[in-house]
Chains A and B, each alone.
Chain A
Amino acid sequence: MRTRDLTGDSTQVVRVPTTERPRVNQKTKMKVRDLEVWYGEKQALHGVSMDVAENEVTALIGPSGCGKSTFLRCLNRMNDLIPDVRIKGEVEFENQNIYAPEVDVVELRSHIGMVFQKPNPFPKSIYDNIAYAPKILGQVRKRTDMEDLVEHSLKRAGLWEEVKDRLQMPGLSLSGGQQQRLCIARAIAVSPSVLLMDEPCSALDPVATATVEQLIDELKENYTIVIVTHNLQQAARVAGYTAFFHLGNIVEYSDTDSLFTHPREKKTEDYITGRYG
């Protein structure tokens, strides 16, 4: 372990040049450039740039309030829903800036799904929770197709065996871990190409967490996943790349192994070794 520089002030914000693309040979799914976000007068992101690799899991870590959720919610414009929010910069997805005026948010969100910190199943049956979006998006019209899709999504989410006999039960009757997997199944039912997850395991016990982590690992075959987590082991376990956020900036962004074993920045090291408040 390196010695700590006692003269350095660790609270001072230093704009470090971030590695926008950790590895050259990886295909990029989303490109974020100079993203700045204000909530009213308060600036939450100070010009963040980052490339998200395709079919990989990218983890966002950092102390509470550093802007991880804010960043994540900018990727599918969930932040548009908050009054008094101002967003500057570009987020490129499929060669289009998603903040360009001709982009339609509703369309965008059907391609970039999201799973939230607290499981939020709709107050409908398990079946309807999953069938809801494909139905309104007009993706599936036939009943049998829909049944297949529901089964497929539940299987992908590793929930099928537990609920296959009670698809008409309310989604809220499931346990917390099951609810979260239901929400994941719901999100992948519309086959988005990117899946954003904001602390998906924070409300779950270790067993349910392990199930979800395994699921994430399987999903990365077909999906690009960006996950916010406070659990550093989790980031190490599931993510190929990790970004460390601090006070609205990316301090360090690289493949997970090097970030955890050879952090280049002192702040990163302090954080991952638990010396940060």
Chain B
Amino acid sequence: METSQILLVFFGGLVPMAAVAFALGRRKALLSDAAGSRMHSLPAQYGVYVATWMALPALAIGIVAASAALLGLQVPSAPFVLSFALFGAAVGLMIALRKVEPTLRARNAIEKFVYWTLFAASLVSILTTFGIIISILFEALKFFSQVSVWDFVTGTNWSPVATFRPGQQAADSQFGSVPLFAGTFMITLVAMSVAIPVGLLSAIYMSEYASYRVRTLAKPMLEILAGIPTVVYGFFAAITVSPLVVEVANFFGLHASYTNALAPGLVMGIMIIPFISSLSDDVINSIPNSLREGAYALGATKSETIKQIILPAAFPGIMAAALLGVSRALGETMIVVMAAGLRPNLTWNPLEDMTTVTVRIVDALTGDQAFDSPETLAAFALGLVLFVVTLTLNLISIIVIRKFRQSYE
């Protein structure tokens, strides 16, 4: 049977059965109510109670069978599983129906079920994090079993060429990640030196100087900047900014590569401006007005108040915003894939082409290498480093922001 057919039969059977279960539970409650015994909960709640107990075993059986099948385990045939699920449903229905008594607290039972459902949902986010860690870690460990961590961290030559063969371990391949991190670092540096000043100063202008009208106009404009997809920024960087950088460099008698690191860095900076500005804006606005008044009452000018009172007070929050910005820049992919180079290049000159961690990850996983080729595994190793670094930055800034919020509540 087709998957879709199985699903159709499964839910096609379950939904009417749940309706019947609901009706039965409700009827029993109504009847015993009419017979004079006061029920604890409303009749409909008994209905929901019975329907839930009927559906749960069936769903559980279905899910177990489906995951087993996906994992490639031996699973009994679909009709068998279906009838087994139906059987489970029938048993659940019988037991639940029998339990419908005046003393049964159906409402509390439903609430408990709701509570645990909500709780289970909240675990999905934790599972996601675990999923990311597991999916990266296994492949990365495979990689590090063949390439030493030391070579990976300190090597300055990245040239994955040969495939691993038994006995002849990656003889010609070099997995020194320093040039990749240098490129990532350079582009991040360029991006942040655009984003932090522009973002912070615009935030200051909007929260301290701008009239209500300017604010209502400027804020959505910045939000538009934030809503532009990265692939679009990437195209902009590659098609407009890179040639511009080359021309400007030529004008000054410098040579710039068409895949220079400056263009993606600048464009990434533009992308991060709204990010920094909206976070800083929040932070500055959360500084209580009494501090401003305190400074004005002493005869401080506005900019003195901002520079010497507001900004120092807001510093932790702004710092956290900047760290989140850095984390974004490090992990940004499309802009560098489209506008930065592919060649690992260890240099201080942003006019040269450089490659980044994310570029190499994409390159390794979109090519036609076998899934366990050394280059593919290396991509997971790079992913692991990226994850650890961004996780550290994110955690620091999340904790700093939490502390900051608490101190001004």
Give me the interface of A with B, judged by CB distance under 8 Å: 76, 78, 81, 83, 106-111, 113-114, 116, 118, 120-124, 132-133, 136-137, 183, 186-187, 190
Contacts and interface: CB of A to CB of B under 8 A. Distances in A.
A107 B309 CA distance: 19
B300 A133 contact: yes
Contact of A190 (B293, B294, B299, B301): B299
Interface in B266-311: 288, 290-301, 304, 308-309
Given A120-B291, A122-B291, A136 B297 contact: no
Contact of B293 (A108, A120, A124): A120
Given A136-B304, A136-B308, A122 B297 contact: no
Contacts of B312: 123-124
3 tightest A-B contacts by CB?
A110-B299, A114-B297, A133-B298
A121 B308 CA distance: 13
Contact of B301 (A83, A106, A118): A106
Max chain B C-beta neighbours (<10 A), residue from A108, A109, A120, A183: A120
B212 interface: yes
Given A122-B309, A123-B313, A116 B298 contact: no
Nearest to A135: B308
A13 B295 CA distance: 37
A116 B299 contact: no
Interface string B298-334: 1111001000110011000000000000000000000
A116 B290 contact: yes
Contacts of A120: 288, 290-291, 293-294
B80 to A, nearest CB: 70
Contact of B296 (A78, A118, A122, A187): A78
A111 B298 CA distance: 8
Contacts of A76: 297
Interface of B: 212, 288, 290-301, 304, 308-309, 312-313
A106 B299 contact: yes
Contacts of A116: 290, 293-294, 297
Contacts of A108: 299
A137 B293 contact: no
A109 B292 CA distance: 13
A208 B295 CA distance: 24
Nearest to A115: B297
B296 A81 contact: yes
Contacts of A78: 293, 296-297
Contact of A122 (B212, B299, B301, B313): B313
Nearest to A114: B297
B319 to A, nearest CB: 14
Contact of B212 (A83, A109, A123): A83
23 contacts: A78-B296, A78-B297, A81-B292, A81-B293, A81-B296, A107-B299, A108-B299, A109-B299, A113-B297, A114-B293, A116-B293, A120-B288, A120-B293, A121-B294, A122-B294, A122-B295, A132-B295, A132-B300, A132-B308, A133-B300, A136-B300, A136-B304, A190-B298
Contacts of B313: 122-123
Contacts of B296: 78, 81, 109
Contacts of B299: 106-111, 133, 136-137, 190
A116 B288 CA distance: 13
Contacts of A111: 299
A108 B298 CA distance: 9
Nearest to B297: A114
Nearest to B294: A120
Main secondary structure of the interface of B (DSSP, over half): helix
A74 to B, nearest CB: 13
B377 to A, nearest CB: 49
A195 to B, nearest CB: 10
Contacts of B293: 78, 81, 114, 116, 120
Contacts of B294: 116, 120-122, 183, 186
A116 B295 CA distance: 11
A133 B304 CA distance: 10
A123 B301 CA distance: 18
Given A124-B312, A132-B308, A118 B298 contact: no
B295 A187 contact: no
B334 to A, nearest CB: 40
Contacts of A183: 294
Contacts of B292: 81
A106 B300 contact: yes
Contacts of B212: 83
Nearest to A137: B299
B64 to A, nearest CB: 57
A145 B267 CA distance: 50
Max chain A C-beta neighbours (<10 A), residue from B288, B296, B297: B297
B311 to A, nearest CB: 11
A85 to B, nearest CB: 14
Nearest to A76: B297
Nearest to A84: B212
A187 B300 contact: no
A44 B301 CA distance: 27
A132 B304 CA distance: 10
B298 A109 contact: yes
A136 B313 CA distance: 18
Contacts of B288: 120
B298 A187 contact: yes
A92 to B, nearest CB: 20
A109 B301 contact: no
Nearest to B304: A136
A110 B299 CA distance: 4
Contacts of A136: 299-300, 304, 308
B209 to A, nearest CB: 13
B292 to A, nearest CB: 8
Given A116-B293, A123-B291, 17 more contacts: A83-B212, A106-B299, A106-B301, A109-B299, A110-B299, A114-B293, A116-B294, A120-B288, A122-B294, A122-B295, A123-B312, A132-B295, A133-B298, A133-B299, A137-B299, A183-B294, A187-B298
